[in-house]
Structure 1
């Protein structure tokens, strides 16, 4: 016997098809679709700086940095979610036509007052459940402060780290580079 669709919920395929034609981005949480709010100029500058800095450092290496248009799929036993992190690093050979990433190694969210609770709670929990994820960075947009969740040993959780000040540098041996906060916060 096959399961009947739940009324009012959007299928994964309908969501993915809709995103291809949508004027704005939406996140998907187990059949419920949420429109994303736009970010401030400062938020966008910091997230762009992250992609530019990581992209330049990863040139010629097996990993690639992607901007906030790259969706990440999070699969749990009870539901599928799609989020748009501010920056994503992947180290696999997925097809260029793929609509989402399944195996991110590094994820970055630039915090804002309207999304902080979700970024620090729901998204953090979802991201940390991704088996391939090694590092999750939560970036304050208005001051040089980054909170890092780093996988200690696969399957055994994450350690919390904090980097503060323009001279701080986040080591990222998981992808063979580092990320100076000065580059993140460049005006």
Structure 2
């Protein structure tokens, strides 16, 4: 085993690590953290959300990404959101920087991180109009929607009115096929 000094990685070192590693890592303040695997229901919710968002994004000239695309939030912080919608030019061949919508599917292993750490960081980009947290064990969740006064927390109802992509999604369709 090779010894190395414990220090924050630079952006270049992190991107090189991700190119070579069989595991994905998120980078938090320069330190890489291996990502946990996801269950079947988690994957179905992500797939359903992408399928529902894609036509809305296409109509507005936007892109929808899922799980394997990095979001750079600062020089030393990168995440892999479960889903993100981006309008405007691509930021970089390996990551995006200006999402209008970010979604995470909660799981017991990630819920605290998604509700605290990621919440405080995801709400920073001026481009972000909504941060969507979806429950994995039952239909439901919360949307943090940008308003002129700041972000407002909205519990999900039967129909989700989306920010930025200007459409609606039936909550039942997001959870189609989920046990």
Task: Tell me the TM-score normalized by structure 1.
Answer: 0.87
Q: Contact (CA 8 Å) 1:85, 1:108: kept in 2 or not?
A: yes
Equivalent residue for 2:62? Answer: 63
Shift of 1:8: 2.2
Residues 4-23 of structure 1 deviation map (CA, whole Å, 9 limit, x = unaligned): xx952211111012212221
Runs of 4+ in 1 over 6 A off after TM superposition: none
The answer to whether the Cα contact below 8 Å between 1:152 and 1:158 also exists between their aligned partners in 2 is yes
Does 2:147 match 1:157? no
SS of the aligned residue for 1:73 comes to strand
Q: What secondary structure is seen at the aligned counterpart in 1 of 2:115?
A: helix
Q: Aligned partners of 1:7, 1:110: CA distance in 2, in Å?
A: 31
**Unmatched runs of 5 consecutive residues or more in structure 2:** none
Aligned counterpart, 1:177: 167
Please say which of residues 170-179 and 43-52 is displaced more in the overlay.
Answer: 170-179
- Structure 1 residue 88 and structure 2 residue 79: aligned? no
How many pairs were matched up?
Answer: 173
The alpha carbon displacement at 1:125 in A equals: 0.5
**Deviating more after overlay: 106-115 vs 16-25:** 16-25
Residues 136 and 150 in structure 1, CA contact (< 8 A), matched pair in contact too: yes
Shift in Å, 1:57: 2.8
Q: Secondary structure at the match of 1:174?
A: coil
How do 1:97-176 and structure 2 match up within 5 A? 98-153=93-148, 156-164=149-157, 168-176=158-166
